[in-house]
Amino acid sequence: LRAMATSGTLKEEKATDGLRVSTKSEDVENMHRALQLAWQSNPVKSAYCVGCVIVDNKGQVLSDGYSREIEGNTHAEECALLKLAKLQTNLRGLKMYTTMEPCTKRT
């Protein structure tokens, strides 16, 4: 799913580079949740605010995270994975929704 935030709402963006775009309602909902999490990030000049949601194959949210959520950590994906590790869940078949890929450093 490719999406962009516009005034805090989710707007579908058409892929023009041959990538597949999902319009399934569960994908849109999970991407929207990831965008909401990104807004919880403490803004800094040197990094982006990112949100991440991890769901199982039934669509149940198992973990989530956002940039700088955990002290000493800057990546939303890593925060979500650290919390998921506490559940000792098999990672096979899980989906990760993130608002930015790849993570980059602002200049």
Check if 29 is active-site: no
Tell me if the pTM is above 0.85: no
What is the structure's pLDDT at 20? 64
Q: Which residues pair with 6 in a beta bridge?
A: 9
Distance CA(32)–CA(9), nearest Å, equals: 8
DSSP 89: -
Say which residues have a Cβ less than 8 Å from residue 100's Cβ, sequence separation at least 6: 48, 50
* Per-residue confidence in pLDDT tens, the chain, 107 aa: 344 444 444 445 555 556 666 778 899 999 999 999 999 999 988 888 999 999 999 999 999 999 999 988 789 999 999 999 999 888 889 999 999 865 566 65
Residue from 12, 13, 26, 77 carrying the catalytic annotation:
77
Residue pair 65/73 in contact by the 8 Å Cβ criterion = no
Distance CA(51)–CA(35), nearest Å, equals: 6
At 43, list the tokens. 């803004």
